[in-house]
Amino acid sequence: MNFLPRSSGIQLHITSLPGGRLGPEAYRFVDWLEAAGQSWWQVLPLGPPDRHRSPYKSRSAFAAWPGLLGEPRAAVSAGEIAEFRERNTYWIGDWERASRRGAVADQVRFTREWAALRGYAAERGIRIIGDVPIYVAPESADHLAHPEYFRNGVVAGTPPDSFSDTGQLWGNPLYDWPALRRRRYDWWLARLRRTLDFFDLARIDHFRGFVAYWAVPEGSRTALDGRWCRGPGLALFSMIELELGGLPFIAEDLGVITPAVEQLRDSLGLPGMLVLQFAFDPEDPGANPHDPARHRENRLVYTGTHDTDTARGWYDSLPVERRELLRAELTARRIAEREPWWGLIRLALESPARVSMMQVQDVLGLGSEARMNEPGRASGSWRWQLAEGQLKPTVARRLREATEATGRVRGGSGGDGSGSRRVG
């Protein structure tokens, strides 16, 4: 995908569909997106999750999770299995050794189901955004098959931030970037080719880690003892662009962002991310990139992400001074919505950012009980699901009206893709 038209979409992982699988509910959701005037469906990583259901600690960076299958017992021919093995020789043997019997057949089933759904969505003008976690899980198929590509004695994390005073101790293996460079980044190239088999555009998680990453001594109880180490920077992405013919990626540039991270993002032409829940901070006036007044065109703006509260939960927990800043912004822009979370949606849609993304929970006005994940808390996350029939036609009509009014519907006012920006 070479261009980002002015458009909008909805974040909803497959596990949050009614029933938590592909199949009829996924097709119904595509129909709802079309009715709502949306152009994008963003999902989380598709790999097998860990025991806490986190898709960011998958047992494979390549395999899709059979638990997402709508028809897990569908017939698979020997010819299909042989063809799949031939097209995926780099990784499928590693996954077979780490998985159960029938692993290849499951991947064939997923490829068929996903291709059918993606084709159905494309016919209706819906493209799919995926997610590439920067790290793999400890003892994953990738970690076990390629120990030479990972460092010993340190694990991944982040320094203290707005989510945690002690940082986040992820515990993932860290890459030995010089070792990967000597092999011309073959593992990363294979991984991203596989990613682009599934998606039109993919968000690269923790983009700042490619400039410098936080390495925590193995065995530490918190991330406080970590230190910054140099990442691969431009060399990796130059190889990716050369081998893949482009960079259809989003830079997840949230957190501790330095000028060097911004320089790499901008030199590659990658769109970055803005999150409205990070705006309206009285302690950071005039310098906050998430402030609507500072939004830029080559960005994706989000009401919130899978790591934040829902818009309603966020608003309900806001201190008075931050609520007043939000209300002042809405008043200045003549946005008059009954519910503050719909005011946030309208702010996102009116942004100059090329793509505006809403959590489905925000469109429905759901509270903190519908939050997808709370960073730093292993259990209790990744479980929220829509109820059958919860996405009503009335909600689609309301969202479509707001989307059309801001020129984000293809064929609507200003929504024909004119003024598109190249990605990569």
Both structure tokens of 401: 């009206």
Side chain identity, residue 105: A
Q: How many CA atoms lie within 13 A of 273 on its CB side?
A: 24
Give the count of beta carbons closer than 10 Å to the beta carbon of residue 379. 11
Residue 417: predicted pLDDT: 33
> Could you give the residue numbers annotated as active site?
205, 252, 307
Below-50 pLDDT ranges, the chain: 1-2, 412-424
Tokens encoding 413: 């006012």
> Do the Cβ atoms of 265 and 233 come closer than 8 Å?
no
**The domain spanning residue 175 has which CATH number?**
3.20.20.80
**Of 250, 253, 209, whose CA–CA distance to 231 is shortest?**
209
Per-residue pLDDT, 285:
67
Compute the distance between CA of residue 394 and CA of residue 224 in angstroms, rounded to an integer: 48
CA-CA distance, 368 to 163, in Å (whole number)? 16
Q: Report pLDDT for 161.
A: 74
Domain that holds residue 405: 3-422
Domain count, the chain: 1
Q: How far is CA 227 from CA 6, 152, 156, 234, in A?
A: 40, 15, 10, 21
Please tell me the predicted confidence (pLDDT) of residue 394. Answer: 97
- pLDDT tens readout for residues 223-247: 999 999 999 999 999 999 999 999 9
Q: 309-321: b or e for each residue (b if 16 or more CB lie within 10 Å)?
A: bbbbbbbeebeee
286-290 long-range CB contacts below 8 Å, 24 or more apart? Answer: none
Q: In which element (H, E) is residue 178 found?
A: helix 177-182
User: So what's the pLDDT on residue 234?
Assistant: 97
According to the model, what pLDDT value does residue 164 have? 76
- Would you state the pLDDT for residue 377? 73
For 168-192, give one letter per residue: b (16+ CB within 10 A) or e. bbbbbbbbbbeebeeeebebbbbbb
Q: How far is CA 90 from CA 229, 329, 358, in A?
A: 29, 51, 36
pLDDT at 416: 35
Question: What pLDDT, on the 0 to 100 scale, is given for residue 283?
Answer: 81
C-alpha to C-alpha distance for 241 and 246, rounded to whole angstroms: 5
Q: Which helix (H) or strand (E) holds 355?
A: strand 355-359
Which pLDDT belongs to residue 163?
67
